[in-house]
């Protein structure tokens, strides 16, 4: 007797192709980069496993549609809303209420992702199924004080499209307090602290020899501002919003030099001087061709130091380095280039979006190398972080961060230990070789 093994037979579901297409559209709307090939693969996989078992369908779609590990949490939430509950518009309405929690997840963990999903689901698809159960419900929860405060502290990476637009408007309204420097010239002032001897004698000559004291004060000018911004793949969610931030600084400062770097360095100073921020961003997108690619921090800093440093770093310039510090090809020259950059500028500020994590510590080789040569280490992941930065730029030269000093000391100890290990190994090998020779 021949024993037969039962095989799993999938039964085709009506409109399965259309549902997969709508699901892929949803994933695209929340930020996943999926092409037509991935959609066709997902349709074939769904037809193969069927929809009777949600676990089979989930893993089949994951294998076809997930290209990056960080996209999986968004995919899980989208899958739950789209496939588990047909009334996904009503489900979105329930999920935005603070007291409701998604099954199996903590509310504070999924709330940012659900905001992006609700934004994507707010606009119905072009050809929705004509069923009586589909009800479109719009809720406007924006404009309240709590919503404004939440937006101020929310990470740019977790913002919806509508929230990004509000953030861009808020950035355009920033009034940065820019640092100033003392110029060589002075001007007459009744409140001046310096005696203007030449002006007093000239006035005495016209007044019959009577000398009346005159005072002068030193003229101050804004310090030049140099911005180096990372646009690599790890900074993908912050690149566009940083362009709006650079444009706001350029509009309020007479001397700003802006550079973008991924795999190579690009000067965008002229493009950022457009009055309209959308035209500026569009011109930059046409100029730069290494968006969301690799990161070559060391090579980019070397190019800047050799080609641009002496042109833009004069008159006590302040430098903003916006990057997460994750170099694709870290080398020993990174420390040399960072040291030269630090010595060429009056103040070097490293703005890192990874500081949004409370438990952040400089563990990677590139971060430990770079942090030794900066004056300030600040977050740049939210509107509140940008507001705090622009409000304190003028006082940065007199402030020092105790936490940064602790990290710098730890990074120097780690670098010293890394240098001692090869030297000790080389000395031990030499001693052993000498012993065998004797």
Residues 25 and 61 in one domain: yes
Task: Evaluate whether residue 132 is within a structural domain.
Answer: no
Our separate counts of H helices and E strands in the chain read: 17, 9
Tell whether 245 and 271 lie within a shared domain.
Answer: yes
Residues 245 and 188 in one domain: no
Whole-number Å distance between alpha carbons of 368 and 345 = 20
Domain end call among 194, 221, 248? 221
Q: Domain end: 221, 246, 279, which one?
A: 221
pLDDT score of 337: 94
∠ CA 109-357-323, nearest 5°, is 120
| Position 2 in a domain | no
- Taking the C-alpha atoms of residue 208 and residue 330, their distance in angstroms, rounded to an integer, is 74
Residue 57 pLDDT: 86
Domain assignment present for residue 229? The answer is yes
- Is 165 inside any structural domain? no
Q: Which residues contact 36 (CB under 8 A, 6 or more apart)?
A: none
Q: How many angstroms separate the most distant Cα atoms in the chain?
A: 134
CA-CA distance, 272 to 108, in Å (whole number)? 37
Instruction: Give the count of domains, the chain.
Output: 3
CA 10 to chain centroid: 45
Distance of CA 36 to the CA centre of its chain: 29
Within 300-403, strands assigned E span: 318-322, 347-351, 376-378
The two beta strands, 225-230 and 215-222, are unpaired
Looking at the domain assignment, is residue 433 inside a domain? no
CA pair distance 264, 296, nearest whole angstrom: 7
Compute the distance between CA of residue 271 and CA of residue 275 in angstroms, rounded to an integer. 10
Non-local CB neighbours of 9 within 8 Å, separated by 6+ positions: none
In a domain, 426, yes or no: no
Domain enclosing residue 214, as ranges: 182-221
pLDDT at 114: 57
Residue 152 lies in a domain: no
Mean pLDDT by 10 residues, the chain (438 residues): 45 69 82 78 85 84 83 83 61 45 46 58 49 47 64 88 89 84 76 80 80 80 91 88 93 91 93 91 89 87 93 88 85 90 92 86 87 92 90 71 81 74 48 52
Q: Which of 174, 194, 221 is the last residue of a domain?
A: 221
In whole angstroms, how far apart are CA 429 and each of 49, 334, 418, 424, 426? 60, 29, 17, 9, 5
From CA 372, how far away is CA 431, in angstroms rounded?
A: 34
List the beta bridge partners of residue 322: 229, 351
In terms of domains, do 365 and 245 share one?
yes
Residues 120 and 193 in one domain: no
Does residue 198 sit in the same domain as residue 240? no
What does the angle CA 429 – CA 430 – CA 436 come to, to the nearest 5 degrees? 90
Find out whether 27 and 34 touch, Cβ atoms under 8 Å. yes
- What is the per-residue pLDDT for 432? 58
CATH number for the domain harbouring residue 288: 3.40.50.410
**pTM to 2 decimals?**
0.62
Please check whether residues 255 and 381 belong to one and the same domain.
yes
Amino acid 403: pLDDT: 78
My answer on whether 282 and 205 are in the same domain is no
Residue 158 near residue 112, CB atoms below 8 Å? yes
Which residues have a Cβ under 8 Å from the Cβ of 30 and sit 6 or more positions away?
74, 78, 116, 117, 119, 120
Do 288 and 345 reside in the same domain of the chain? yes
Can you tell me the distance from the alpha carbon of 385 to that of 381, in angstroms, rounded to the nearest whole number? 7
Detail the DSSP E strand segments found in 289-420: 318-322, 347-351, 376-378
Looking at the domain assignment, is residue 163 inside a domain? no
Q: Answer yes or no: do 267 and 200 share one domain.
A: no
Q: 389 and 278 in one domain?
A: yes
Check residue 355 and report its DSSP letter.
Answer: G
Same domain? 321 vs 244: yes
Query: From CA 248, how far away is CA 168, in angstroms rounded?
Result: 10
- The pLDDT assigned to 382 comes to 92
Angle at Cα 110 formed by Cα 353 and Cα 157, nearest 5°? Answer: 25
């Amino acid at each position: 007797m021949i024993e037969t093994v039962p095989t799993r037979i999938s039964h085709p579901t009506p409109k399965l192709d259309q549902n997969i297409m709508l699901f892929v559209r949803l994933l695209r709307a929340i930020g996943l980069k999926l092409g037509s090939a991935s959609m066709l693969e997902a349709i074939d996989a769904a037809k193969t496993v069927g929809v009777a078992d949600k676990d089979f369908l989930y893993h089949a779609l994951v294998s076809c549609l997930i290209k990056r590990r960080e996209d999986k949490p968004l995919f899980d939430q989208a899958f739950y809303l789209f496939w588990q509950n047909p009334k996904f518009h009503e489900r979105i309405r329930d999920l935005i209420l603070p007291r409701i929690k998604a099954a199996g997840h903590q509310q504070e963990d999924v709330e940012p992702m659900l905001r992006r999903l609700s934004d994507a689901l707010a606009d119905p698809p072009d050809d929705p199924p004509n069923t009586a159960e589909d009800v479109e419900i719009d809720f406007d929860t924006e404009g309240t004080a709590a919503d404004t405060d939440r937006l101020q502290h929310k990470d740019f990476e977790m913002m919806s499209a509508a929230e990004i637009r509000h953030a861009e408007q808020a950035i355009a309204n920033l009034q940065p307090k820019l640092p100033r420097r003392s110029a060589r010239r002075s001007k007459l002032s009744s409140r001046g602290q310096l005696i203007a001897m030449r002006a007093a004698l000239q006035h005495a000559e016209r007044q019959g020899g009577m000398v009346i004291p005159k005072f002068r004060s030193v003229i101050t000018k804004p310090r030049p501002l140099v911005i180096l911004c990372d646009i690599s793949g790890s900074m993908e969610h912050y690149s566009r919003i940083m362009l709006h931030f650079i444009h706001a600084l350029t509009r309020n400062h007479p001397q700003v030099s802006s550079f973008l770097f991924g795999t190579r360095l690009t000067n965008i100073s002229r493009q950022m001087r457009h009055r309209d921020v959308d035209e500026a961003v569009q011109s930059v997108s046409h100029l730069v061709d290494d968006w969301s690619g690799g990161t070559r921090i060391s090579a980019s800093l070397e190019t800047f130091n050799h080609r641009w440093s002496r042109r833009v770093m004069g008159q006590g310039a302040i430098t903003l380095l916006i990057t997460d510090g994750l170099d694709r090809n870290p080398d020993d020259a990174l420390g040399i280039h960072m040291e030269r950059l630090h010595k060429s500028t009056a103040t070097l500020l490293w703005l890192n979006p990874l500081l949004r994590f409370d438990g952040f510590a400089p563990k990677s080789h590139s971060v430990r190398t770079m942090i030794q040569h900066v004056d300030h280490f600040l977050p740049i992941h939210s509107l509140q972080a940008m507001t705090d930065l622009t409000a304190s730029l003028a006082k940065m030269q007199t402030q020092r961060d105790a936490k940064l000093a602790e990290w710098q000391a730890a990074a120097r100890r780690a670098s010293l230990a890394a240098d001692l290990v090869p030297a000790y190994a080389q000395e031990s090998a030499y001693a052993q070789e000498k012993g065998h020779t004797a």
